[in-house]
Amino acid sequence: MRIFITGCAGFIGSNLTDRLLREGHEITGYDNLTTGSMEFLKEAEQNKAFTFVQGDILDPDLLTDSMRQCDFVYHLAANADVRFGTDHPRKDLEQNTIGTFNVLESMRKNKIRRIVFSSTGSIYGETVVIPTPENAPFPVQTSLYGASKLACEGLIAAYCEGFGLQAWIFRFVSILGERYTHGHVFDFYKNLLANPRELRLLGDGHQKKSYLYVQDCLDAIFLAVDKAEEKVNIFNLGTDEYCEINDSVKWITGHLGCDPALTYAGGTRGWIGDNPFIFLDCAKIHGLGWTPKLKIKEAVIKTTEFLANNQWVFKEK
């Protein structure tokens, strides 16, 4: 099978690419390299079954052309920058909503029927049901990022109904692991490198978040694609535990052997539209036989180890 992966040079995308190549698939990887890195495709590039196209999902002609001969699309390219949405509201609209529309149109033109999409637990907004199942009460959006991913989900489902596509949509918690280059562990580590005696945290440190290790995430995706046969298959992906930001800081500083003075920006939220408690009910994916192998603490430490061994990632940005 020839698989098309958007965002193949990103954190999750490059890990996905390596896994699918190891399983013997042919891959066309597509990435504009604005946040992705060719460094993450070093292993893939050794493999004859891998073809890389540097392209933007906002370039519909190149996208359609590059997708030819493919049987399946993993659409991971996105603006994943949930925190700074209000600084540039057009970015989520273009890179997520319009980009996903372009991917769907290219699939239609190439008669490709199946798509995996990386959505987010952020689309539950400030839900009152925690842990939050996939069929939680119709949520009200609180971030431009969540709103744009919701728009993508809607488009994908409508294409399934209207054009006979089949979709697997995954609402992730934050993902951790090798090649992670974006998010709170990254920021903490970077700041501690610059000054190990002090660390400033957003919010009050009690924001509760759930995290998932990237290989556990990929295991769940492969299982769902294999087993779930609805027209539109929606799954939460997370661990059955959560931690406070204060916990993850403790694990990181403990691993680094530093003891910074902690200061807090204050408030219950890290940023505008931040949800102070994201914790997903993952009973649906568990029902297919999946459980994550790593605890949040282990995933945080693996991430810290990756950052320690790959300090070039801090210079790329």
**Residues at the interface with a second copy (CB under 8 A):** 85-86, 89-90, 93, 97-98, 101, 104-105, 125, 134-144, 146-148, 150-151, 153-155, 157-159, 161-163, 232, 234, 272-273
* Closer Cβ to a second copy, 137 or 254, answer by number: 137
Distance CA 35, CA 78 (A): 10
Q: How far is the CB of 171 from a second copy (least distance, A)?
A: 10
Q: How far is the CB of 3 from a second copy (least distance, A)?
A: 24
Q: Which residue in the block uniquely carries the two structure tokens 């409508």?
A: 158
Distance CA 20, CA 8 (A): 11
Q: How far is the CB of 92 from a second copy (least distance, A)?
A: 8
Rounded to a whole number of angstroms, the distance between the first and last alpha carbons of the chain is 35
For residue 45, the number of C-alpha atoms closer than 13 Å in the C-beta half-sphere is 10
Three-class DSSP category at 199: strand
* Closer Cβ to a second copy, 156 or 301, answer by number: 156
The first and second tokens of residue 312, run together, are: 């070039």
By the 8 A CB rule, do 288 and 228 touch?
Answer: yes
* Closer Cβ to a second copy, 162 or 257, answer by number: 162
* Closer Cβ to a second copy, 157 or 223, answer by number: 157
* Closer Cβ to a second copy, 9 or 144, answer by number: 144
Q: How far is the CB of 121 from a second copy (least distance, A)?
A: 12
Distance CA 101, CA 95 (A): 10
Q: How far is the CB of 120 from a second copy (least distance, A)?
A: 12
> CA 55, 56, 62, 68: dihedral to nearest 10 degrees?
80
* Closer Cβ to a second copy, 272 or 308, answer by number: 272
Q: How far is the CB of 133 from a second copy (least distance, A)?
A: 9
By the 8 A CB rule, do 168 and 118 touch?
Answer: no
